[in-house]
Amino acid sequence: MRKFWLIVTHEYSRHVFRRRFILPLLSVPLMIIFTIVLVIVVIMINSVPTPIGYIDQSGILANPIPQPAVKWPERTVPMQAYPDEASAKADLQAGKIQAYFVISADYLQSGKAKEIYLKEPKGMAIQQFEAFLSTNLLASQPPEIVTRIQDGSVITVQSADKNREASEAQIVNLILPIVAGVLFIVGMMTSSGYLMQAVAEEKENRTMEIMVTSVSPTQLMSGKVIADIAVGVTQLVVWSLFVILGLLIGKNFVPQLSGFQISGEVVGTLAIVMIPAFVMISGLMAAVGATVTEASEGQQVMGLFTIPIWIPYFFIGTFIENPNSPLAIALSLFPLTAPMTISMRIGFTAIPTWQLVLSAILLVLSAIGAVWLAGRAFRLGMLRYGQRLRWKEIFSPQRV
Amino acid sequence: MNKTLLVLRHEVITILTRPSFLFAMFGIPLIGAAIFFIASQLNKTNPSQNVLTQLISNPQAVAAEGYVDQSGIIKEIPSFVQRGTLISYPDEASASQALANGQISGYYIIAPDYIQTGKITAVRKNFNPIASAGQGAALEQVLRVNLLGGNTQLANLLNGPTNMDLQSLSQAPQREESNLLTFFLPYAVTMLFYFIILSSASLLLSSVTKEKQNRVIEILMVSVTPRQLLTGKIAGLGLVGLIQTIAWVGTGRLLLAQSSILFNLSSAFQLPASFLIWGLIFFLLGYAVYASLMAGLGALVPNMREASQATILVIFPLIIPIFLLSVLINDSNGILAIILSLIPFTSPVTMMLRLSAASVPLWQIILSAVLLAATAMLVIRSVARMFHAQSLLSGQPFTRKLFFDALLGRA
């Protein structure tokens, strides 16, 4: 047992207490900051503050009220009246306005308008003009009705059994499971990548030969797997600290974040799916490490597992819109795609219990299978060089 | 000279006979074609009979939803709401009963103080928290009409003009902002270029390191000079990369020409023939810069593993445009895009992005190409200095300092 702990502490410290480990730890907070900056820049680009011109033939804009103020980082697009098309056209050609609208005389009946531009303005600028129009259309209405129409409804969605509740203000609670899922998978992949490397490397430089003289293969393998999971957990804990810190700071600036809370049901579901998934991936990676002859070869084989794990990510749009489509259900049952798919669906639908249970059972079974596979591949391949271990050999009934 | 050709021939033959390379060259265009085909199928007007659409959409649910109006605002349901899709219930108990019986898929409770607070509670069987899902959008419109005293026309106009006529004064063909290809065409072109430059440059790195690691280079050095080896390798692998570029870009153009029939695209989405020529020029120059940097890296690192860690040093400038992709596509003639397309290390990828996103002034293209060519020459010269027998045969560990010192000729 002492040897087992020796292996665990050696594996753990050789990954964690290294300068190279700092980069993956910091990569997540850096990515978050980068994404936020990018979103702000995109919004700023999409709301160019060049004025929009208009020619009002209907009289609804005779005494214009400006559109409701927009929130930073969106920039206000000024609206400018023109008496006729000729002057607006001249300013458009001169680049003083980005586009102009002609509101027809019978606008209230026909809703007819013309938009003239050199290059089609971005959607956000058009939206501001439409807001400007509707503000003026509502000018004669009672103020409380105007506010209600402009602000829209505050819809709170409840599940039929009233256990779950979400509103627009709590949008962050829908995205959080996805973020958690992505972080979990990234952590899982990097730490099991370390495991694969460790196994392949020790084989490559023949350390393995000396090791097996003093420890049993089972001790060696289980020690490595436990250490690898500990490395992954370390990473995840640091990342979640950063995310929670970011949310706590962001709460004060962004109203959409204020509704953030962690529901036990979601955390529980994610744990049920992620823990067996972690063991499964580690097992698979260790098996790969034991079968290949060189560490660089292992990385190529690793791609075979990485791709299916990320496949659901490409369907993120469809899954959010249609979380109960046959494709989504199929991918939540298939062990390799299940972790990602379930973390995407969980915020947007009540996943039926049978699906969760079936998926968890399949994951646990494949985790057990992967560990068995790793053990067998390890015993067979541990001292074999030059020739790759074939999958056929692993599954053959020969005793090891 | 003869030996350079020998090295070149060897490199081309080794790569071209590798199955994984052949797969990348022919497999990826094939996959691309398959995706295009699927996308065009999805884009066809009649989605109801499409197997694929059914696969990615929710199972058919009861379309009808109910509402309980505690505020007394809703006096009439306007005619635009399809009959039977929005059913009124006197109280929550009866609505919840109807939900349990499967007559409706959800119901809305409009709070008594709706005008002040705007509160609506939606109870949904499948708990889809997107507020406008189901009949949510229709209910909001119904509420608007009733708040405005039944004036349906005014309520409709609040969403903007109902009959909008778009007119462009410029001669250049315009791309619709809403068309998915406006974004995905530059996106695909950029990714394609990134992968082609990166993969063919990495081929060089792996071929140099591998020979160094298994000591073949010691034997090679007996009969070939380092300079001959470097030239042969760069030219040979460049040729391979060129074949790949032609295969990929060619399929891309073919698919695009096909898709303009399938998707009813305007001519703005056609990539002109000059695009292909500029594509080749920027590939060759970009390749020359990155491949020689990679070769320099390969000459200095002792083994494959350290090589793959060190590549980040070299490819970092190539990644910058990829990071900023959405900004660049959104504003492809903006200041950021112009600067990045002139800086030699980011220009190959950025310029292709801009060429596929919009029209680029000719002087910028030429200036960018000239700058890139000058850089390529400088880099090749300094890498050739790096490529001498001493560093090729030594096993000293790789450091960033060593690489930059050697590049700047201080080592």
User: According to the model, what pLDDT value does residue B48 have?
Assistant: 47
B47 lies in some domain: no
Is B254 in the same domain as B372? yes
Candidate from B116, B127, B157 with C-beta closest to A157: B127
Q: CATH code at B87?
A: 3.40.190.10
Is B269 in the same domain as B316? yes
Higher pLDDT, A351 or B411: A351
Decide if A347 contacts A177 (C-beta within 8 A). yes
Domain count, chain B: 2
User: Sheet holding A165-167: strands in order across?
Assistant: A165-167, A154-159, B119-124, B106-110, B65-69, B86-88
Structural domain that includes position B79? 65-157
Query: Is residue B211 scored above 90 in pLDDT?
Result: no
What percentage of chain A carries pLDDT values higher than 70? 93
A190-214: per-residue pLDDT in tens?
A: 888 888 878 877 887 788 888 888 8
In this complex, is the C-beta atom of A387 within 8 Å of any C-beta atom belonging to chain B? no
Is B146 in the same domain as B188? no
Provide, as residue numbers in chain B, all residues whose Cβ is less than 8 Å from the Cβ of A93. Answer: 169
Candidate from A111, A117, A160 with C-beta closest to B157: A111
Is B277 in the same domain as B232? yes
Q: Strand locations in B42-162, DSSP E?
A: 65-69, 86-88, 106-110, 119-124
The mean pLDDT of B214-224, rounded to a whole number, is 83
Residue in A closest to B59 by C-alpha: A325
Q: H helices within B214-300, ranges in order?
A: 216-223, 226-262, 273-300
CB contact residues (below 8 A), chain B span 88-107, against chain A: 99-100, 106
Is B358 in the same domain as B401? yes
**According to the per-residue pLDDT averaged within each range, which of A189-203, B174-188, B225-239 is highest?**
B225-239
Tokens of A178: 């996805």
Query: Is residue B184 scored above 90 in pLDDT?
Result: no
CB contact under 8 A, B58 and A141: no
* Separation in Å, CA of B222 to nearest CA in chain A: 28
Is B333 in the same domain as B222? yes
φ/ψ of residue B166, rounded to 5: -95, 140
B250-260: per-residue pLDDT in tens?
A: 777 777 777 66
The mean pLDDT of B184-188, rounded to a whole number, is 78
What percentage of chain B carries pLDDT values higher than 90? 4
Candidate from B122, B156, B304 with C-beta closest to A155: B122
B366-380: per-residue pLDDT in tens?
A: 999 999 999 998 888
Q: Using only C-alpha atoms, what is the Rg of chain A?
A: 29
User: According to the model, what pLDDT value does residue B327 have?
Assistant: 77
Measured CA to CA, the distance from residue A299 to residue A305 in angstroms comes to 10
The mean pLDDT of B303-323, rounded to a whole number, is 78
pLDDT-based confidence at residue B53 (cuts at 50, 70, 90): low
In this complex, is the C-beta atom of A254 within 8 Å of any C-beta atom belonging to chain B? no
Question: In DSSP terms, which residues pair with A80 in a beta bridge?
Answer: A53
Higher pLDDT, A210 or B308: A210
pTM: 0.66
Decide if B224 contacts B2 (C-beta within 8 A). no
In this complex, is the C-beta atom of B163 within 8 Å of any C-beta atom belonging to chain A? yes
Higher pLDDT, A315 or A106: A106
φ/ψ of residue A295, rounded to 5: -65, -35
Count Cα neighbours of A152 within 13 Å in the Cβ-side half-sphere: 15
Candidate from A134, A158, A167 with C-beta closest to B158: A134
pLDDT-based confidence at residue B1 (cuts at 50, 70, 90): low
B385 lies in some domain: yes
User: Sheet holding A79-81: strands in order across?
Assistant: A79-81, A52-56, A99-103, A112-117, B163-168
Candidate from A122, A126, A152 with C-beta closest to B140: A152
Amino acid at B409: G
CB contact under 8 A, B131 and A155: yes
Is B221 in the same domain as B137? no
* Separation in Å, CA of A359 to nearest CA in chain B: 19
Bridge pairing between strands A165-167 and A154-159: antiparallel
Size of interface A-B (CB pairs under 8 A): 189
Question: Which of A42, A46, A47, A157 to mutate to test binding with chain B, by most B CBs within 10 Å of its CB?
Answer: A157
pLDDT-based confidence at residue A362 (cuts at 50, 70, 90): very high
Decide if B294 contacts B204 (C-beta within 8 A). yes
Amino acid at A231: V
Is B90 in the same domain as B7? no
User: According to the model, what pLDDT value does residue A334 have?
Assistant: 92
Query: Is residue A82 scored above 80 in pLDDT?
Result: yes
The mean pLDDT of B298-326, rounded to a whole number, is 79
The mean pLDDT of B194-209, rounded to a whole number, is 84
Instruction: Specify the 3-state DSSP secondary structure of A394.
Output: helix
A144-158, A167-181, B172-186, B198-212, range with the lowest pLDDT: B172-186
Residue in B closest to A156 by C-alpha: B121
Is B347 in the same domain as B199? yes
Q: Which of A299, A289, A346 is nearest to A319 (CA)?
A: A346
Task: Tell me which of B157, B190, B225 is where a domain ends.
Answer: B157
B114-172: per-residue pLDDT in tens?
A: 888 888 888 887 777 765 667 778 888 888 888 888 888 888 888 888 888 888 877 66
Query: Is residue B58 scored above 60 in pLDDT?
Result: yes
Other beta carbons within 10 angstroms of residue B169's beta carbon come to 12
B316 lies in some domain: yes
Provide, as residue numbers in chain B, all residues whose Cβ is less than 8 Å from the Cβ of A116. Answer: 167-169
Average pLDDT in chain A: 82
B301 lies in some domain: yes
pLDDT-based confidence at residue A258 (cuts at 50, 70, 90): low
φ/ψ of residue A79, rounded to 5: -110, 140
Candidate from B120, B128, B174 with C-beta closest to A349: B128
Is B102 in the same domain as B236? no
What percentage of chain A carries pLDDT values higher than 90? 6
B44 lies in some domain: no
Is B23 in the same domain as B102? no
Is B79 in the same domain as B143? yes
Provide, as residue numbers in chain A, all residues whose Cβ is less than 8 Å from the Cβ of B153. Answer: 108-109, 111
Helix axes B226-262, B362-386, angle to 10 degrees: 150
CB contact under 8 A, A134 and B120: no
User: According to the model, what pLDDT value does residue B278 have?
Assistant: 87
Helix axes A338-345, A295-314, angle to 10 degrees: 30
In this complex, is the C-beta atom of A205 within 8 Å of any C-beta atom belonging to chain B? no
User: According to the model, what pLDDT value does residue B49 have?
Assistant: 46
Provide, as residue numbers in chain A, all residues whose Cβ is less than 8 Å from the Cβ of B164. Answer: 113-115
A9-33: per-residue pLDDT in tens?
A: 988 888 888 777 787 788 777 877 8
Residue in B closest to A40 by C-alpha: B327
Candidate from B127, B304, B324 with C-beta closest to A296: B304
Structural domains of chain A ordered from first start: 47-152 (3.40.190), 169-395 (no CATH)
Bridge pairing between strands B163-168 and A99-103: unpaired
The mean pLDDT of A108-132, rounded to a whole number, is 85
Measured CA to CA, the distance from residue A228 to residue A231 in angstroms comes to 5
* Separation in Å, CA of A108 to nearest CA in chain B: 7
B388 lies in some domain: yes
Question: Which of A18, A153, A311 to mutate to test binding with chain B, by most B CBs within 10 Å of its CB?
Answer: A153
Provide, as residue numbers in chain B, all residues whose Cβ is less than 8 Å from the Cβ of A155. Answer: 108, 120-122, 131, 136
A271-306: per-residue pLDDT in tens?
A: 888 889 988 988 888 888 888 776 666 776 777 778
CB contact under 8 A, A149 and B147: yes
Candidate from B100, B121, B153 with C-beta closest to A108: B153
CB contact residues (below 8 A), chain A span 276-305, against chain B: 295-296
Query: Is residue A338 scored above 70 in pLDDT?
Result: yes
pLDDT-based confidence at residue B101 (cuts at 50, 70, 90): confident
Provide, as residue numbers in chain A, all residues whose Cβ is less than 8 Å from the Cβ of B117. Answer: 154
In this complex, is the C-beta atom of B167 within 8 Å of any C-beta atom belonging to chain A? yes
Measured CA to CA, the distance from residue B200 to residue B286 in angstroms comes to 11
B298 lies in some domain: yes
Check if the interface score ipTM surpasses 0.90.
no
CB contact under 8 A, B157 and A118: no
* Separation in Å, CA of B123 to nearest CA in chain A: 5
Measured CA to CA, the distance from residue B194 to residue B323 in angstroms comes to 12
In this complex, is the C-beta atom of B58 within 8 Å of any C-beta atom belonging to chain A? yes
A262-271, B39-48, B133-142, range with the lowest pLDDT: B39-48
Task: Tell me which of B124, B157, B190 is where a domain ends.
Answer: B157
Candidate from A118, A130, A349 with C-beta closest to B127: A349
The mean pLDDT of A44-50, rounded to a whole number, is 79
B210 lies in some domain: yes
Find all residues with CB under 8 Å of A290, minimum gap 6, and list them: A199, A200, A203, A374, A377, A378, A380, A381, A382, A389
